[in-house]
Structure 1
Amino acid sequence: MMPPKLAAKIVGVLFILAAVTSIIAAFILYKPILNNPDYLVEGAKQANQVILGTVMELTLVVSAIGTATTMFPILRKYNETIALWHVCFRFLEAIMIAVGIISVLSLVTLSRAFVAGGATDTAAFQASGTLLTAIHDWTFLLGPLFLLGINTMMYSYIFYRSRLVPRFIPILGMTGAILVFTCALLVMFGVIEQVSFWGGILALPVAANEMILAVWLLIKGFNDSALASLSVNNTKPTTITAYM
């Protein structure tokens, strides 16, 4: 296992990297193909920009997996089952994001074929584009909202109980996890839009938690006394009591 101080800094950097790359990809680089009525033409024109966005999201995938695997040896000292669940669900979140990336790249291919073919059979291209966009939208919902809420709740719970970081951080994390999970359900049932005022409000606490946690880990790291306590508990012999 790597030293806890190094692990803390790596996790902090990865959390920041994940946030920055996801924002740049979703709200800037993907605009020509996901937020443009003329995406079948603009997607081909701005293909390099969109592909750069997919590279950003691939960085997000790597960062998400990196945070989970780097924290696992530390989280498992308190609860190995929850720590393992966290890794598995984080991988599932990364898979959802990767499927969304594939759908965006497929839209680029579709756009290039549309332009190269002289815009013939527009209806068929529009139908394919609508399907690929829907796949991206659903993965964008299930990954960064639904599964993110579950993941955040698990590591925040361990941080809260173990005191590896100040308790106000995991409290914010658990609150944010509940709100972002609620947001995902509301979007799924059509109550609110994901990219909307209420969607932003409900997602804000979990985003704030990740940034505060990242900065804390970069500057302070994990609580040394809490780590020592976890290590002592893990080295205690198991006592087996027989009942007559």
Structure 2
Amino acid sequence: MDAIRSQAPETPAAAQRTARAAGAWFVLTFAFSIPAVLLYDPVLNDADYIAGAGADTRVRLGALLEILTAVANIATAVVLFPILKRQSESVALGYVALRIVESTVIVLGIAAVLAVVALRQDLAAGADADAALIGQALVALKDQTFLLGPAFCAGFGNGLLLGYLMYRSGLVPRPMALIGLVGGPAACATAAAVLFGAYGQQSAVNLLFTAPEIVWEASLGIWLLTKGFRPVPLITGAPPGAAQDR
């Protein structure tokens, strides 16, 4: 018990502030990433974007929102790390590392999109078939970064690792954490299926298997923002078993 108390935050209120900060960052990942996808539509779905009129300002705004998404991704892990490491420092560190990798992959996709915009502006009306092919290749790179980052990395990191830490610690209701433990591997599995050509990224099957992971992340962010952590020994210093699952 003394060991638990020695690792606990200064006050339970400090832990709840951490929970609400993490919840806010999780909610912001949705607030930034969803509009970014919509803003990217012209460049992602127009094979002749480089030769056309373009929507460069709109695409740049989408890029800015994705940069903020990458920042928010890392912030969720960094804010939670001091709490999660009391459950398992190695798993918590792995979670932080995967969030950083995920955000790095996202930034690579942003660079690809901005390269398409820069290429369109440099060529202006002189864009030819070769330029169009280069633009399509950069868009294909962007598509693959979504598969490798938000699909694989988020599924393993947010789903499996964070779900495990939240389930074992009881910081959030265990039935909720189970959604992450199931949804994370499902997201990784469907990403692997897409990688090997079983079906497309935009297919209904892929969306179905990704849905539990999305539900887990959204519910976790809302729970932490509105209710904070449950009063478990990890943050209260009470003897193990004092807090009951609910």
**Fold match, TM over 0.5?**
yes
User: Which secondary structure does the structure 2 equivalent of 1:40 belong to?
Assistant: coil
Partner Cα distance (1:202, 1:124) in 2: 37
The residue number in structure 2 matching 1:134 is 140
Deviation, 1:231, is 7.9
Q: Which residue of 2 aligns with 1:50?
A: 59
TM-score (norm 1): 0.88
Separation in 2, partners of 1:20, 1:201? 21
Q: Is the 8 A contact 1:164 1:226 kept in 2?
A: no
**Alignment RMSD:** 1.7
The 8 Å contact of residues 29 and 50 in structure 1, kept in 2 or not, is answered as: yes
What does residue 6 of structure 1 align with? 17
Aligned residue type for 1:125? A
Match of 1:169 among 159, 168, 176: 176
Q: Cα gap change, 1:134/1:37 in structure 2, threshold over 3 Å: closer, same or farther?
A: closer
Structure 2 CA distance for partners of 1:230 and 1:182, relative to 1, 3 Å = farther
> Which secondary structure does the structure 1 equivalent of 2:109 belong to?
helix
SS at match of 2:16: helix
In structure 2, list runs of 5 or more residues that go unmatched: 1-8, 241-246
Of structures 1 and 2, the one with the larger relative CO (CA 8 A, separation 6+) is: 2
- CA distance change for structure 1 residues 195 and 149 in 2, over 3 Å: closer, same or farther? same
Asked if 1:92 is matched to 2:101, the reply is: yes
Per the alignment, in what secondary structure is the counterpart of residue 31 of structure 2? helix
What do the CA deviations read for 1:54-81 (whole angstroms, capped 9, x no partner)? 0110010000000010010011001000
Following superposition, the deviation at residue 126 of structure 1 comes to 1.7
Contact 1:141 1:184 in 2 (8 A): yes
- Following the alignment from structure 2 to structure 1, what is the Cα–Cα distance between the partners of residues 136 and 227? 47
Q: Does structure 1 retain, via aligned residues, the 8 Å contact 2:172–2:229?
A: yes
Aligned partner of 2:47 among 37, 59, 62: 37
Question: Are residues 35 and 227 of structure 1, via their aligned partners in 2, closer, same or farther at CA, if it must alter by over 3 Å?
Answer: same
Within 1, Cα distance between the matches of 2:200 and 2:81?
34
8 Å CA contact 1:163, 1:226 repeated in 2: no
Long gaps (5+) in structure 1: 234-244
Q: Is the 8 A contact 2:232 2:238 kept in 1?
A: no
Determine if the alignment matches structure 1 residue 19 to structure 2 residue 30.
yes
**1:50 Cα deviation after fit:** 0.2
How many aligned positions are there? 228
Alpha-carbon deviations, 1:173-205, whole Å to 9, x = none?
Answer: 111101110111011001111112112111111
Kindly indicate whether the alpha-carbon contact (under 8 Å) linking 1:173 and 1:205 is maintained by their aligned counterparts in 2: yes
Q: Percent identity?
A: 35
| Stretch moving more, 198-207 or 126-135 | 126-135
- The answer as to whether partners of 1:77 and 1:231 remain within 8 angstroms in 2 is no
